[in-house]
Amino acid sequence: MVTGTPGPCVGNIAPIERLNFSGLCLHDGPLAIRQAIYASVFPAELSVAASWDRALSHQRGLYMAREFRGKGAHVALGPVVGPLGRSPFGGRNWEGFSPDAYLSGELVAQTVEGIQAAGVQATTKHYILNEQETQRNPSVNANGTTIEAISSNVDDKTMHETYLWPFANAVHAGTASIMCSYNRLNGSYGCQNSKTLNGLLKDELGFQGYVMSDWLGTHAGVASIEAGLDLDMPGGIFFFAGSPSYFGGNVTLAVNNGSLSSGRIDDMVLRIMTPYYFLNQDKDYPPIDGYTSKIGFFPAANYVDNFTLGPIVDVRQQAHTKLIRDLGAAGTVLLKNFNSSLPLRKPKNIGVFGNDAADFTQGQYSLAISSDTVLADGNYDIGTLAVGGGSGTGRFTYVVSPLDAIKARAQSYGALTQYITSNDFIAGGGIAALAPVPLDVCLVFLKSWASEGADRTTLVAEWNSTVVVEKVTAVCPNTIVVLHGAAPNVLLPWANNPNVTAILAAHMPGQETGNSLVDILWGDVDPSGRLPYTIAKNETDYAKNLVNSTALLETTDPNAWQADFVEGNLIDYKEFDAKNSSVAYEFGFGLSYTTFNISNIQITGAPANASRRPNPSAPTLPGGNVELWETLATVSVTVTNTGSVAGSTVPQLYLTFPAEADAPTRSLRGFDKVALNSGASGTVQFPLMRRDLSYWNVVTQDWTLPVGNIEVSVGFSSRDLPLTGNLAV
């Protein structure tokens, strides 16, 4: 029960026939049931964050989990809030939502609730401070010395206010499982750290589910169990590691020799089995899809023979396809729209340029599994980048490429579409190969690759992107640039080029990527996405927050890899606000095809009458002390669509705390997605919980309301906040 076994899924708990227990199937991942065919590939969490839409986040979790369930998977290995995004260079940032803890917390809660509404267990990961890929696992140097994994070293205040915050939302939402991370935490491995697992997660947050290891993230047996690890994955003998589990028979031996109590084993099993029964997975659960047995992580000969395998099931549904298309559009951010060049007005001669426009050319899957290659860069140079690579990817049944969708729309009204998808050819002057007809509009598609296993080396779109834009704009005065892939993208030297009339950050929209984009380009859908991160003017404007050097790669010191989180809570927009630095596009920014006004701020509630700290005698339920989740005040505003077309916007609320709190200049504490017809108005309410109004007091070791006035600011981005007020606490 506490040790994974070889089997048809990416992780397996073996059936126990005498107990009529059919076992558990665990599968990646955060945007698709990766190890399957005839399944959908949903937008990445990055796109969900850019939508700022709680309802779509919940619906995505529900629909995705229905596909997991249809394939017989009991446990979905997602959602992701670690990495949070401390470094803009993090290779797996796209798997998560946003470097803002509040935004990530709200969306992870909706995702967890959606997944578990389908009767599937959510596994929120990677807990915690898992903020870089470089040296995430131990390595062995040329002398045979084991060099330990990176140690993320953080203070208590930063831990609570930034990195633990979204995990608390996930626990409060009822996540069945938490996956601990590869890295070390203040010197101890994440799956062997009693402070974070027992102290913060199980005691302070009241987590009642089970902690599972990341694959091969366990480095001890009894020590890990006593530190709070409940389930070792993958267990058995992992085919590319060749080493047995630290659990398995070692657990039996430890109990029998008295070094581990049987009571702790009972607790582990209780935690593992509680979600199984709570979600009714013991009743008529679908068998494991037969296809998984053909591509499992283990050779078929090693499978235990008592898993029930069913037929290959097609779990795709039209409703899922529509959600993917809608969410892909909702997560697209319009950054520039000079002279209202968008939406397109049936241009007759369309040019499409760039390697991101085309269909895949090297297959539909960006994770290679073999004895010598675990993670690979997949199908890029040429091919649209709809999601990233690694274990968080999906196996596409199909993709609607931007080029195909644009050609289809153009053909519907008789327009001409010309295209070149080789960046090398464009950079070499190949645009001259097009027919000598003036182009009404040029659409340039750029991308930034990111994958598990490596951090990014640049924040500029790859494949000679700057030269591609220069070549196109030289012949096309109406050039629209579309960016897919990892975020943020910075160093856009062409952003102020007068011939670049519009810029769209389309992120990672999943299988309907082309259709989602065409809906925005031709104005079928108002662009309502907003940036869930900051785009700086220069790459060096960011604190890189990524540990890597030649000296470290050649070190003989086992503990040389140390990441000190000296910036504290000041990441992304909080960093730029603290330095009062100008940026290219601020956190929360995004344009629409209409305009909005915000007015009439009202603040109600009397938090000044509340105790400074939550009652320590109040119950601790999943999420922590129940009083932390009680609403103490409410802010309301009026939003009006002052433009000529229907559209959606995202009013945002930020708080500025008194000096006592030692808090960032401003912190997001409320948002809502609002759809309004032209001329219509609506009231938006932002409930503020005790947790939202408190800071972590390292002396009292508790959430504490500061004394004085909290400044409330409401607007349309972190730097567009026309409404202000004060909340006395």
Strands 631-641 and 416-420: unpaired
Angle between helices 513-521 and 402-412 (to 10 degrees): 50
Distance CA 374, CA 391 (A): 9
Residue 128, preceding bond cis, omega within 30 degrees?
A: yes
Residue 626's nearest CA partner among 689, 709, 711, 533 is: 689
For the annotated catalytic residues, the residue numbers are: 214
Written as six digits, the tokens of 435 are 């027919």
Q: What is the sign of the dihedral through the CA atoms of 179, 181, 185 and 191?
A: positive
- Helix boundaries (H) for 386-459: 402-412, 423-427
Q: Note whether 97 and 260 are within 8 A (CB).
A: no
DSSP assignment of 200-259:
IIIIIS---SEEEEPTT----SHHHHHHT--BBSS-S--TTT----SSTHHHHHHHHTTS
Contact 182, 214 (CB under 8 A): yes
Distance CA 214, CA 236 (A): 14
CA neighbor of 94 nearest in space, from 512, 392, 481: 392
| Cα–Cα dist 577/74, whole Å | 43
Task: Report how far Cα 635 is from the mean position of its chain's Cα atoms.
Answer: 28
Tell me, rounded to whole angstroms, the distance of Cα 535 from its chain centroid: 17
CA 579, CA 575: separation in Å to the nearest integer?
A: 6
